[in-house]
Amino acid sequence: MIRCRGHWLVIFVACLLGEAAASGDTVVLVTGESCPLTSISTLELRKAYLGVAVAVEGQRLRPIMMRGDEKLEQIFYQSVVAMSKKSYERRRLSLTLKYGTPRLAEIDDVADVPEALRGTGCAITYLWGRDAESMQGVKTIKLLWQDS
């Protein structure tokens, strides 16, 4: 009986530690080191992800969507495009149907981000802050979300 209580105590403490670690989570906007972009307004960023051609500091932006992390996607819909996933996906499809507008590039694996950002032009995407810190050839240009 005592041993069982000890297990629950360990799990409880581990959960507390996990929460503490997660409370410092951030989501950041990143681009390649070769891109001269140093900042971008929230409105310009929203336009770019809503299919509007946006040039900042003379550079045409190429937004990339991150897939495969549900929480990261939710933060993107809430903090970047400010609409539900359903509305956003319909809008993307609608632009393609109406004008033939290409949909945004997508990445499923965070390990592919440096390679995707290395191309010509200014590609941008959003990442967990902890992932961005450990990446080579990637620079952070905006804090998009922070766990309170």
Partner 1 sequence: MPQLKLPAFPPFPDPHCCPFRARRAARRGLGCTAARRHAPWMERGQIMYGTKKRKRRVSRRQLVAAGVTAVLAVAPSFAEVDHEFLFFPSVDGLNTFSESDPSVKVSDARAALDLLYSVSGNRFRFLGEFQWSSDEAEIERLQAGYRVGDDTFVWGGRFHAPAKIWTSEYHHGQYLQTSITRPALEEWEDDGGSNPSHIMGLLLESEHQRDDESAIGVAASAGLAPVLEDRLLESYEILEETSDHGLSLNLRVSYRPQYLSSTQFGILAGWNEINVQQEPDAAPDQPESIDQAILGIFADWYRGNLRVLASFVYFDNTLELPSRDQDDSYLLGYAQLEYEANSAITLFGRVEGGIDQDDSAYLQMFESVITERYMLGARWDVAEYHALTAEIADTTYGASVSGSRSFGEFRLQWSAVFP
By CB under 8 A, name the binding residues for partner 1: 43, 46-47, 50, 52-53, 84, 86, 89-91, 93-94, 96-103
Q: Which residues pair with 107 in a beta bridge?
A: 66
- Which residue stretches of 2-147 are H helix? 2-22, 42-49, 70-79, 85-99, 113-117, 129-133
Q: Which of residues 106 and 112 has its CB atom nearest to partner 1 in the complex? A: 106
Provide, rounded to whole angstroms, the least separation between the CB of residue 72 and partner 1. 17
Provide, rounded to whole angstroms, the least separation between the CB of residue 144 and partner 1. 17
Provide, rounded to whole angstroms, the least separation between the CB of residue 93 and partner 1. 6
Q: Which of residues 71 and 103 has its CB atom nearest to partner 1 in the complex? A: 103
Residue 105 makes CB contacts below 8 A (sequence gap 6+) with 62, 63, 64, 65, 116, 123
Work out the end-to-end distance of the chain between its first and last CA atoms, rounded to an integer number of angstroms. 38
Provide, rounded to whole angstroms, the least separation between the CB of residue 135 and partner 1. 25
Q: Which of residues 101 and 140 has its CB atom nearest to partner 1 in the complex? A: 101
Of the candidates 83, 85, 35, 87, the one whose C-alpha atom is nearest the C-alpha of residue 63 is 35
Q: Which of residues 91 and 139 has its CB atom nearest to partner 1 in the complex? A: 91
